[in-house]
A and B are shown apart, each in its own frame.
Chain A
Amino acid sequence: MSKTAEFHQRDTGRHPPALTPTYKTSVARSPRFALISLDQSVAEMTGPTFGHSDLDAGDNDLLNNYAKPGENPIGERIILHGRVLDENARPVPNTLVEIWQANAGGRYRHRNDRYLAPIDPNFGGCGRALTDDQGYYHFRTVKPGAYPWRNRVNDWRPAHVHFSVFGTAFCQRLITQCYFEGDPLIPLCPIIQTIPDDDAVDGLVAKLDMNATIPLDTIAYRFDIVLRGRRATLFENRMEGT
């Protein structure tokens, strides 16, 4: 029964507004009219589902999924793991998590990236995983490098990994970025500064997790993701589906 309940309204105090002039690209790409509030229907409360047949076993291992046999990418080897939950603190199982990132030198494997740092022949820079029945996911990768970008004349992106998460409904769809604890570039970044709430910024910072580290092999960071939650109770004065 509770599955038909709608989702909590979007927490706009935590998300960046559309128009953020210090992040210059947003100026011409942000709507000027207010978003129109929509009563959620089946189109918003459902979304694509994924299964293990969509993925291959090694898709979550960026240390291996593009490396030549017997070779490894350059850089600090990390485990990036965490849990996908909703606002009601319930795990989101079996949902697709996709990531992409620059290599350890701060260069993306993309035709438009012309930064001086070299392409790493053994690093593609993307991976994907399904959360398990408790909402946990994990990746192996290298820690990405910081890089300069053309916003103001001397802006640098802190090390970051892009995350795309589905949840169970199209209205939960989220793309975000994960940063790394202790990075001095975090407070200087105009893209991070689009977020109005310091606690929300802190929520995007993966924490060093020594307990998940593999000694003499791979250091670990933990990044938990919270998606919108469904209202818990369907009250009796409203019929299902209305």
Chain B
Amino acid sequence: MDDLGYLKVTASQTAGPYVHIGLAPGAAGFDIYERELGWDIAGPNAQGKRINVTGRVIDGTGSPVKDVLLEVWQANAAGHFAHPDGGGEVEDGFRGWGRVISDFESGEWRLETVKPGPCPGRGGTIQAPHLSLWIVARGINVGLQTRMYFEDEAEANANDPVLNMIEWENRRATLLATRVAEGEYRFDIRLQGDGETVFFDV
């Protein structure tokens, strides 16, 4: 079966209950690195609007997942990603990538960044401003990919090729963050049950 010279992918496994030891040891209660990664998503020079997003990941029993780790990947305000194929220049210090850890007691997480701009989609389309999210925790066998859009971008969202691809219109709302104050958004992710968040096979 391997005549063509392709290799078989390495299987995913759960990040387990102690993912913070490896990926955010400061949160696990010990300092080991001079620089932990993923704490500053946008950096000091990023243009655009500063925003905060607060949320929880909720399991099928309705309980917050208190040992979850999320990673964020986003464009800058001009719609460029910090990558050689990312569409253009980004500000010095703009990484567009972050790690967010839920509070061990409440399950709440919070991220601080800038609001991304629209970026190109497939076939000449424009994608609405969004954050790509990757979610791992104990009990999640393969990291879950989803997106967070902004409810106050109604026009852009109406033309977004990814939102429009979701056949069940009532499920599109699971990807919209609620604006609770100026620059403050709320986004809860439901792994299962009523209002289950849309997850993607990318």
Task: Report the Cα distance A41→B118, complex, angstroms.
Answer: 12
The reply to whether B11 and A195 form a contact with Cβ atoms under 8 Å apart is yes
Q: How many residues of B contact A (CB 8 A)?
A: 84
Report the minimal beta-carbon distance from B122 to chain A, rounded to whole angstroms.
5
Task: Report the Cα distance A47→B197, complex, angstroms.
Answer: 23
Residues from chain B with a CB closer than 8 A to the CB of A112 are 17-18, 67, 104
Q: How many residues of A contact B (CB 8 A)?
A: 89
Q: Does A46 touch B at the CB level, under 8 Å?
A: yes
- At the interface with chain A, which of B19-27, B42-50, B178-186? B19-27
Q: Quick one: which of A38, A59, A109, A228 contacts B9, CB cutoff 8 A?
A: A228
Residue interface mask A149-186, B partner, CB < 8 A = 1? 00000000000001010001011011111000000000
**Which of A15, A56, A88, A227 has the largest number of chain B CB atoms within 10 A?**
A15
Q: Given A17-B141, A87-B9, A175-B12, A48 and B28 touching (CB < 8 A)?
A: no
Interface residues of A in 216-234 (CB under 8 A from B): 225-229
Q: Given A28-B192, A35-B201, A109-B30, A226 and B81 touching (CB < 8 A)?
A: no
Interface residues of B in 1-51 (CB under 8 A from A): 5-23, 25, 28-30, 32-35, 37
Chain B residues proximal to chain A, CB less than 8 Å = 5-23, 25, 28-30, 32-35, 37, 59-61, 63, 65, 67, 71, 73, 75, 81-87, 95-97, 104, 119-124, 127, 130, 132, 134, 136-145, 147, 161-162, 165-166, 171, 191-193, 196-202
